[in-house]
Structures are given as C-alpha cells and as structure tokens.
Amino acid sequence: MEHGRHPAHPTPMTYLKIAVILAVVTFIEWAIFFAPESMNGIKLTVFSVLSVMKFALVAMFYMHLKFDERLFSMLFVGGLTLATCVILALLVLFQAVL
C-alpha cells in the first residue's frame, strides 16, 4: 500500500451542492412537520428516510468516507452498527412506547 497518500477529495463546488441539498432537506422536514395529524404514520417514515439521507451525505462527502480508506468506514460503521443494536435491544427489552 502506498504510504501517506491523500485520495482525491471533492471540489468546493461539490461541497456547496451537498450543503444546498442538506438545507433543502431540512426545510422539507420542517414543512412536513406541520402536515395534518392524519399523516403521522407517513411523517415518521419520511423523517427517518430524510434523516438517514442527511447522515449519509455528511459522512460520505464531508467526512470523505466515500473516498478514503475502507478501514475508516469499517471502524465507523462498526461503531454505528453496535450503537443501533444497543438502541433496538433496549427498546425491545423495555417495551418502549415509541
């Protein structure tokens, strides 16, 4: 493996485009929040999907996981997977209402 290499990262214009997407998605979340209560079921799904989308965009482009060593992704996704398992296990164990 090559030592001390710096993989090509996105250009500032790409960063700006990502920021615009993040801002628009946040605005959409805010708008959906005020939708009628009868849509609550759909709202929860949409909030979750949009949140995962924002999370992935920041991690892949701003944290460069898409371009850097795969080992970094493994370290991060490993911790993230464990955290998700802990959350799900506790929710089931305590029969949480949410």
Partner 1 sequence: MEHAQASEHAEHATTTGIDHRKMLIWAFLGSECMFFGSLIATYLVYYGQSVSGPGPADVLDINTTTVSTFVLLMSSLMMVLAYSAVSKGDVKRFRVWIVCTALLGATFLGFQYFEFTEFGHHKQTFECPPALDRPALEPETACQDGATEYKANYGLTPRTNLFGSTFFTLTGFHGAHVTVGVIWLLSLFGYSFRRGGEDLVRDGGLNVDLAALYWHFVDIVWIVIFTVVYLIGVTVAPV
Whole-angstrom distance, CA of residue 69 vs CA of residue 1: 11
Interaction between residue 97 and partner 1 (CB under 8 A): yes
Minimum gap (Å) between residue 58 Cβ and partner 1: 5
Asked if residue 58 binds partner 1 (CB under 8 A), the reply is: yes
User: Closest approach of Cβ 10 to partner 1, in Å?
Assistant: 8
User: 10-24: string of b/e by CB count within 10 Å (b at 16+)?
Assistant: beeeeeeebeeebee
> What tokens appear for 9 in the block?
């990262």
Q: Does 36 bind partner 1 (CB under 8 A)?
A: no
72: contact with partner 1 by CB under 8 A: yes
Burial class (CB in 10 A: 0-12, 13-18, 19+), 61: buried
- Give counts: helices (H), strands (E), the chain: 3, 0
- Site for partner 1, rule CB under 8 A: 1-6, 9, 11-12, 15-16, 18-19, 22-23, 26-27, 29-30, 33, 40, 43-44, 47-48, 50-51, 54-55, 58-59, 61-63, 69, 71-72, 75-76, 78-80, 82-84, 86-87, 90-91, 94, 96-98
